[in-house]
Structure formats: C-alpha cells, structure tokens
Amino acid sequence: MTTPRKLHIKSYGCQMNVYDAQRMVDTLAGEGFVETASADDADLVILNTCHIREKASEKVYSELGRLRVAKEEAARHGREMKIAVAGCVAQAEGEEIVHRAPTVDIVVGPQSYHHLPELLKRAKANGRALETEFPVEDKFGFLPQPKPAAIRARGISAFVTVQEGCDKFCTFCVVPYTRGAEVSRPVADIIDDVMQLTENGVRELTLIGQNVNAYHGDGPDGRPWSLGKLLQRLAEIPDVKRLRYSTSHPRDVDDDLIAAHRDLAELMPFVHLPVQSGSDRILAAMNRKHTADDYRRVIDRFRAVRQDIAFSSDFIVGFPGETAEEFSATLALVTQIGYAAAYSFKYSPRPGTPAAEMRETVSATEMDERLGRLQDLIDSQQSAFNRAAIGTTVDVLFERAARNPGQIVGRTAYLQPAHVMASPDIIGKILPVRIDSLERYSLKGELATRSAPSPISSPVSQTIGA
C-alpha cells in the first residue's frame, strides 16, 4: 500500500470557500490525499483565497512568502511540496500570481476544482498549471464529469451550495467577476446531497450561494423552482431539523420565501440580509437597485409572518463620496431595524470595479471614525439581543463536546453558541435549554427538564401499559 499524501488547505473569505475547501478535500481523497493540520509536512498546500477587500487579497502574497520557505525546507529533506492557489484571487489575478510567485505550482479558479487531480499531473509534467476559465457547461463540475467525490458529512451542521455567482454588479464588488454569472443547481442534485448528508448524521443545512435567493434551479416538474419552494421540499426530508440560507439580497425576497418563513418550523427565524448603506444616494451609486425604504418594507414582510425573526446585515462605510449626513442615514437605519448581529467594513477599492474609478474618496481617518461609530452601535444591539435570552428557555441543536470537559455546545435558532453540562449523547438533538448567563458572545445554561415525563421512559406508564 502506498503511503497517503498529505494535503493542507487554508481557506479565507466566505462560506462558499469553506464549502469549496471541503469539496477539494473530498475530490483529492480519491487521489490518496489525507488532510494534515500543518502546512510544513504537507505534500500539497492549497491557499483558498478571497479577493473581496484589499487586505484579504494581500494575505495571499504574505502567506506565499512563508510557504516558499517551507517548500525549500522540504526540498532539503528530499521531499517535494506542491503549492496551489485557489479561490477568488486565483480567478482575478491568476496570471499575476504566476509571475509574482514562482513558488506556486498550480493556479485554479473556483469553477475548476474538480480538475485538481488533472492539474496536479500537468504540474508534475510541465512544472506549472493554470486554470481559471469559466467553463459554462460544467460550472459546478456536476455535469459532464463524473460527480466529484461524494459529499461527506462533517458533523451536525453542513453547507450545501445551491447557486453560485452573481449578476447584480454592485459597483464596489468583485464577486460577479470572480465567481461569474449566476447559476443554480437542479433541485434533484440538491435533494441527493441533503439525503446523503442526513443519512450521515447532519441535522442542520445551510443553503449557500453568493446570491442565494436568486435561486431558480430546475425542479423535478421541469420548471424553475424558487428558494422558498426548494426549502419547502427539503423540510420534508426526514432528519432535516433545521434549515438556513445565506446570503440573500433584498431585491430577491419573493412571496415564496416569505411563505416558507410562515409555514416551515424547520426554517430558522434568522436572516442575513445585507443592506450596505442607509442612504438612497449611496445605494444608487452602489447600484443596489433598492432604497432604504424598500429594505424596510422587506424587513416588515418577514416580521409580519414571524414575530420572532431576527436579522443580520453587512455595511460598507466610506463608499466614494459618502457624506457625514449619508453616513448618519446608515446609523438611523440600524437604529430603526435593530440587528441581532452585523458585519461592517471600510470601503476598499477593488481593481476592475466601477467604484474604483470614482474619485471622491473618503479620508482614512473619517472612515475609521465612521466604522468605530457603526460598530459601537451594532455591538450594543448585539449585546442587548444576547442578554435578552437570559432567563428564557430556548431550543438548542447540540453539535459537539466543548473545550471545557463535560460541556456540550450547540446553537440557538439565532446561531448563538450555547453551553450546557451534559452527556455527549445529546449531540445531534434539539433540546430546550434554560439560559442562565452570557459570557462574551456565548450563552450558558442547563437542560430544561420537561414538565411531563414521556410515556416511553416513565416506569409508571410502562407498568400501566403492561
């Protein structure tokens, strides 16, 4: 038997990259690779990169500097280390990586991961290999190729890609260029994946896509299905206990999605719905094609069908030309909506995007100041939301043993981590927890005893039944 080769993947960026990294591991397992936690002893290191902001992209080159040293060290010990750059930087700057970083053997764009075994062979034969095309017909690698290694369960909660790419072209964003046009997977393929995952212990599915509610995959009836309809169908699968989806766009919230939130107990009442800004002029300059009021109305439609629904969002501060008043409109929107959580970023000009050509930039100090104020407001809303759980009893899906011995950790409907002292056989179950305290972002509590004993476990009812 040949010794397995070792693979180390480092992922940056969004959930899609996390999912893609898992698919790469599964694909390369078929080539005899096993995962290793350290880059130093790996035969193949993959950097799965993100291009969304300048800081994210720059990480690649500093990491490649470190890897070059590790590669040389391996060579001194007679061991060959291959280095691959995958993800959105590979897609956007593939040629540049080849020039700037001679240590890189393979550059592979997000649509070509299923070709990794082939690219490895090519790199061995030619020294290097680059593939960053958007092959339209096999965008997911699910059509003409044999399906990549079967999707493998890793715990209780899993991501499933349902669509990829974006046609929205917000003026600040690289995603339409790095991930290409919007493509949805057929419903049947998604059902297959979900069945396989639940058979292997998964209980919570997060459907992911750059623009997940633009989903319009072919349904079994030969018609395109909406995300709402897909969620409805997936909720029927036994053992699907919780459903989530991310990231959605305010413009694509249709009645099916609202109905799914009304009708499906499995669909968690926590929605990530980025708005970016509260100013209509900035929203227009961003090409978001919705106003702040449109967004408020979308939130109201969700709230009308699920009173307990909570929201998170993304914000950009310091978009070119953003005035102090326009920034205040963002603060006003946040105050009015009230978020359970939110991410906020300083605007970062990205090469090739229309906003990068806009000249009215906001000064670095002004950006820092705005970001600080926005983050303080979001933090106070998030802490208030978390504190409100204290003293209540909430459902928790338990995922794994926590770091502290004897503790098991799970998540509430709102993705808050919750810890209890309990036996590991609660993993995979949803149980009510009485929340006693909040430590930073994590809730602590005790399993709530059910008021009436269940007939099966109660010796009394067994006696009666016997």
Chain residues in the site for ligand F3S (CB under 6 A):
13-14, 16-17, 50-52, 87-88, 174-175, 178-179, 210
Of positions 122, 168, 233, 434, contacts ligand SF4 by CB under 6 A: 168
CB 47 within 8 A of CB 87: yes
- CA gap 259, 226 in Å, rounded: 12
- CA gap 224, 298 in Å, rounded: 23
Token pair, residue 442, equals: 């994590």
Q: Which does 159 bind (CB under 5 to 8 A by kind): ligand SF4, ligand SAH, ligand F3S, none?
A: none
Q: Binding string to ligand SF4 for residues 221 to 250, with x set by CB under 6 A, is what?
A: ----------------------------x-
CB 317 within 8 A of CB 266: no
According to the binding rule CB under 6 A, does residue 51 interact with ligand SAH? no
- CA gap 215, 186 in Å, rounded: 10
Nearer to ligand SAH, 281 or 346 (CB): 346
CB 278 within 8 A of CB 247: no
* Closest distance of CB 321 from ligand F3S, Å: 24
Within 257-296, which residues bind ligand SAH (CB under 6 A)?
274, 276
* Closest distance of CB 49 from ligand SF4, Å: 16
Token pair, residue 286, equals: 């961003």
CB 98 within 8 A of CB 117: no
- Listed residue (311, 308, 285, 279) closest to 298, CA to CA: 311
Q: Which residues are bridge partners to 148 per DSSP? A: none
* Closest distance of CB 48 from ligand F3S, Å: 8
| Among the residue ranges 165-173, 229-237, 290-298, 334-342, the one whose residues contact ligand SF4 (CB under 6 A) | 165-173
According to the binding rule CB under 6 A, does residue 52 interact with ligand SAH? yes
Q: Binding string to ligand SAH for residues 222 to 251, with x set by CB under 6 A, is what?
A: -------------------------x-x--
Of positions 25, 257, 316, 342, contacts ligand SAH by CB under 6 A: 316
> Which SS3 state, helix, strand or coil, does residue 88 take?
helix
Within 181-200, which residues bind ligand SAH (CB under 6 A)?
none
- CA gap 282, 98 in Å, rounded: 37
| H-run or E-run covering 344 | strand 341-346
According to the binding rule CB under 6 A, does residue 17 interact with ligand SAH? no
According to the binding rule CB under 6 A, does residue 17 interact with ligand SF4? no
Q: Which residues are bridge partners to 417 per DSSP? A: 411
Q: How many CA atoms lie within 13 A of 46 on its CB side?
A: 32
Q: Binding string to ligand SAH for residues 342 to 361, with x set by CB under 6 A, is what?
A: ---x-xx-x-----------
Q: Which does 169 bind (CB under 5 to 8 A by kind): ligand F3S, ligand SF4, ligand SAH, none?
A: ligand SF4
Q: Which does 17 bind (CB under 5 to 8 A by kind): ligand F3S, ligand SF4, ligand SAH, none?
A: ligand F3S
- Listed residue (391, 384, 443) closest to 413, CA to CA: 443
- CA gap 372, 368 in Å, rounded: 6
Nearer to ligand SAH, 53 or 241 (CB): 53
CB 441 within 8 A of CB 411: no
Q: Which does 345 bind (CB under 5 to 8 A by kind): ligand SAH, ligand SF4, ligand F3S, none?
A: ligand SAH
- CA gap 75, 330 in Å, rounded: 53
Q: Which does 386 bind (CB under 5 to 8 A by kind): ligand F3S, ligand SF4, ligand SAH, none?
A: none
According to the binding rule CB under 6 A, does residue 208 interact with ligand SF4? no
Across 410-433, b (16+ Cβ under 10 Å) vs e yields bbbbbbbbbbbebeeebbbebbeb
According to the binding rule CB under 6 A, does residue 211 interact with ligand SAH? yes
CB count in 10 Å sphere of residue 446: 13
Nearer to ligand SAH, 179 or 241 (CB): 179
Q: Which does 316 bind (CB under 5 to 8 A by kind): ligand SAH, ligand F3S, ligand SF4, none?
A: ligand SAH
- CA gap 120, 45 in Å, rounded: 12
Within 172-201, which residues bind ligand SF4 (CB under 6 A)?
173, 175-176
- Listed residue (466, 413, 405) closest to 443, CA to CA: 413
- CA gap 139, 148 in Å, rounded: 13
Using CB under 6 A as the binding criterion, the count of chain residues that bind ligand SAH stands at 17
According to the binding rule CB under 6 A, does residue 343 interact with ligand SF4? no
Q: Which does 347 bind (CB under 5 to 8 A by kind): ligand SAH, ligand F3S, ligand SF4, none?
A: ligand SAH
Using CB under 6 A as the binding criterion, the count of chain residues that bind ligand SF4 stands at 10
CA-to-CA separations, 140 to 28, 29, 136, 266, 362, in angstroms, rounded:
16, 18, 9, 27, 39
Residues near ligand SF4 (CB under 6 A) are 166, 168-170, 173, 175-176, 210-211, 249
Residues near ligand SAH (CB under 6 A) are 52-53, 172-173, 175, 210-211, 247, 249, 274, 276, 314, 316, 345, 347-348, 350
